[in-house]
A and B are shown apart, each in its own frame.
Chain A
Amino acid sequence: MNSFFKNNWWKLLGLTLILYSIVAGFLIEVPKLQGNIGESIRNLFFHVVMWFAMMVMFGNSLVRSLRYLSTFDIKHDLVAYESVNIGLLFGMLGIVTGMEWANFTWGTPWTNDPQLNGAAVTILAYFAYLVLRRSIDEDNKRARIAAVYNVFAFVMLIVFIGILPKMASGSLHPGAGGSSSTVSSLDPTMRLVFYPAIAGWIIIGYWLINLKVRMANIRQMLDNPEQS
């Protein structure tokens, strides 16, 4: 069926990119970095990519919230909501895999570090978005208030993940204060796997949002059969 490929090629692309990152992520040569990090630097392709995918999901949610505020089309609110859900999925995976990697490399799953704490606070801010939504019954009111909150949540994301960690004096985690950020100093060979992996996860994120939005619409139509 050619229409299958025409409509779903991008989903296959996303899966292929991630599959590529798994195969190439293990086969390429990685630089020998200081400390005992060794081969585990390959976690860049599986842990760090989660954070980038998360930020894109939350960014998408922000855009949809703004579009809702300018059009009051409730469809945008639904996408904004599901985007936060998928963003939180990636964020929680990032936290858990980060703790696993930290425990293995630093001997402890958490440190008092601006980047770690910032990521945790950001995730809490978006969980609060879910709690806020649940506290309001009326559709349009909920959408409006949630959309405004979403703007603040994204500002918090920028502050806690993008700004404060760079101001810190130094940390075990790359990217803070004096040490160079993961991305700008990334080994060129690793970049060949890192960027496609991020693209793959972003695509899968959009697919997940797409599925959840469609499910919500079906549920809505089943609950309200008299409305078209």
Chain B
Amino acid sequence: MEESKIFVVILVLSTVLIGLGIYLFMLDRRIKKMENEIKSNKD
């Protein structure tokens, strides 16, 4: 059994994780925008 195949698994899982990370950061930014909007509406 070729051991180099494991690198594909590492790559796939890393992609999934990085994808999740990007999604979380996007969510974070969207929420921050809403928070800023509300804060500026209060003035």
Q: Which residues of A contact B (CB under 8 A)?
A: 8, 11, 15, 18-19, 22-23, 26-27, 204, 207-208, 211, 214-215, 218, 221-222, 228
Contacts and interface: CB of A to CB of B under 8 A. Distances in A.
Nearest to B21: A15
A26 B31 contact: no
B27 to A, nearest CB: 6
Contacts of B14: 19, 22-23
Contacts of B25: 8, 11
Contact of B10 (A11, A18, A26): A26
Given A11-B25, A221-B38, A19 B18 contact: yes
A221 B35 CA distance: 10
A26 B6 contact: yes
* Binding site secondary structure of chain B: helix
Interface of B: 6, 9-10, 13-14, 17-18, 21, 24-25, 27-28, 31, 34-35, 38, 42
A15 to B, nearest CB: 4
A23 B31 contact: no
Given A218-B34, A218-B38, A221-B38, A22 B27 contact: no
Contact of B24 (A11, A22, A27, A215): A11
B5 to A, nearest CB: 11
Closest 6 CB pairs of A and B: A15-B21, A22-B13, A214-B31, A218-B34, A26-B10, A221-B38
A22 B17 contact: yes
Contacts of A228: 42
